[in-house]
Amino acid sequence: MGSLQTPQRYRMGSLQTPQRVRAMKPFSSQHQTMLICYVIGFYPREIKVTWLRNGVKVTADVSSSELLHDGDWTYQIHSYLELTPQSGDSYSCRVEHSSLAEAIEEKWDPAMPESERNKIIIGASGIVLGLVIAAAGLIYYKKKATGRILVPSD
């Protein structure tokens, strides 16, 4: 007879994937931004997720998903912080888990969200590509036009 056993890699506890912090616009709120801290792939299930603003614990406008079982002996949780970013403030998600020697923190930089940065990179790449194609077309036109004399037709 077989028995169900915990896979070896999770027996002592682990946090397989570090947490990630993403920003998004809340659907309906008085705040401008919602930060989401994803903590994925941890075992055992006991975990502490804390939001910090300038190194100080934040308790207002914080919520979390239920602890979700991933089906592979690990868990995940999502923690949310609604805020209106202020100049000079820094925000981070702090995770404490038995598999970690010390707590880990993931900082969010309000200077430029990843999606905005990607839009700028794509736009700049498009402009550069357009200039390269225009330059190639001009060079091609000049080479074809060399040696030809245009005669006016009256």
Same domain, 88 and 117: no
**Beta strand 104-108 pairing with 91-97:** antiparallel
pLDDT in tens, the chain (154 residues): 332 233 333 334 455 544 555 655 545 556 578 888 888 888 888 899 999 999 899 988 888 888 888 888 888 889 998 888 777 888 889 999 888 888 888 888 766 666 777 788 888 898 989 889 999 988 888 887 776 666 677 6
Same domain, 106 and 116: no
For residues 20 and 135, give the distance between their C-alpha atoms in angstroms, rounded to a whole number: 42
The predicted model scores a pTM of 0.58
- CATH at residue 43: 2.60.40.10
Same domain, 33 and 101: yes
Q: Among 68, 77, 71, which residue's Cα sits nearest to residue 96?
A: 77
C-alpha distances out from residue 12 to 1, 7, 17, Å: 25, 10, 16
